[in-house]
Structure 1
Amino acid sequence: MAHPSRKCNYGVVRLVLFVVGLFLIGYVVGLPFFWHSKGNLTARECPSCACDCSSENSLSLPLGSVNNSFADCGKDDPDVNEEMKKDFITLLSEEISLQRNVTNDNLEHTKALIMDAKKTSSHYQKEAEKCTTGMETCEGARESAEAALIEERKLSLLWEERAREHGWKDKR
């Protein structure tokens, strides 16, 4: 039964999801165009990176060589070169592939949890059936014991009446 104050207007939810979707599409598609419209960043030169990885403080940057353009920095690194040569569609394809893998992993984990929940539910259902059977057995035994007790009381009253007829007196 739905609570009257918790009614949800699905039209509003759809509108909000549509606006958020448009924003995300605009962000993903528009961001590369924005950066390309800022100017041809690859035409500028970046000073060679002077990194001394053998020093203890390997994360420090030489502040004198920092420039506003970082387009050519790391051009000697093959991994960075390979990533920079990929086009937008390839990057999106890789991202979708990664998301698909994560989704499949989550789906497998969820299926495993569901199977575990089904096994647990089945176990508890079997235990409940055992308990119900035991309760029915106990109830049947209690009813037969109660019937036997009533029959025994009737016999006791009959013998007590006969004893009184023959002169027995109760000393209670």
Structure 2
Amino acid sequence: MAHPSDHRLCSSGFVRCGLVLSSLCLVGLILGIPWLLRENSHAQASCPSCDCDCSSDILSTPLDCSINDPEMNEEIEKDTISLLYEELSLLRNVTDGNLKRTEALTMDAKRTSSHYQKEAEKCNAGMETCEGAREKAEAAFVEERKLSALWEKRARELGFNRERRIYLQV
């Protein structure tokens, strides 16, 4: 059987190992980030240099520093009006899509509402039918009670007694 002191040594060893690993990870992170940033800046520095003279006046600086980049040239050649037109057409497409979805949802809501309204009308008609039948049954019951009271009254007048019953034998 293990002694309690052995258990403490084992758990403290695990704790020390965990602390050492955590500290190594932190040191690697602290040293690694500047190294990665330096490598990234070297990668950006490998791009072709611009032949612009930036020390001179800003107005005399040539605007064709990125003349070798075809994507940049294409974007620069687009004028403002065409960019605005493109943006408006994209907005129009998005708006049209939203409008179509909204109209479809509205039509679906109208169909569902109509369906539930028809079901409610059927239910109301059924309730009216049931109510009418209940009223008729109640009126018939009242009439039946009156008729029963009349027959009971006549039977008592003729001498009917509940305790005295005559059974016919056949």
Whether the TM-score (by the shorter chain) exceeds 0.5 is yes
Q: Which residue of 2 aligns with 1:87?
A: 79
Q: Which residue of 2 aligns with 1:145?
A: 137
Q: Looking at both structures, which has the greater relative contact order when contacts are Cα pairs under 8 Å and sequence separation is at least 6? A: 1
Q: How far 1:60 sits from its partner (Å)? A: 3.6
Q: How far 1:85 sits from its partner (Å)? A: 1.3
Query: CA RMSD for the aligned pairs?
Result: 3.0
Q: Which residue of 1 aligns with 2:31?
A: none
Residue 94 of structure 2 corresponds to residue 114 of structure 1? no
Q: How far 1:90 sits from its partner (Å)? A: 0.9
Q: Which residue of 2 aligns with 1:160?
A: 152
The 2-side partners of 1:64 and 1:80 are apart by 17
Aligned pair partner of 1:62 in 19, 28, 42: 42
Q: Which residue of 2 aligns with 1:41?
A: none
The 2-side partners of 1:147 and 1:85 are apart by 93
Q: How far 1:83 sits from its partner (Å)? A: 1.9
Q: Which runs of 5+ in 2 are unaligned?
A: 1-38, 55-62, 164-170
Q: Which runs of 5+ in 1 are unaligned?
A: 1-58
The 2-side partners of 1:104 and 1:64 are apart by 42
Q: With structure 1 as the length reference, what TM-score do the two structures score? A: 0.57
Total equivalences in the alignment: 113
Of structures 1 and 2, the larger Rg is shown by 2
Residue 122 of structure 2 corresponds to residue 130 of structure 1? yes
SS at match of 2:161: coil
Alignment CA distance shift 1:158-1:73 (3 Å): farther
SS at match of 2:160: coil
Alignment CA distance shift 1:74-1:109 (3 Å): farther
Q: With structure 2 as the length reference, what TM-score do the two structures score? A: 0.57
Relative to its length, the structure with more helix (as a share) is 2
Q: How far 1:72 sits from its partner (Å)? A: 6.1
SS at match of 1:167: coil
The 1-side partners of 2:150 and 2:44 are apart by 118
User: What amino acid is aligned across from residue 99 of structure 1 in structure 2?
Assistant: L
Q: How far 1:63 sits from its partner (Å)? A: 6.7
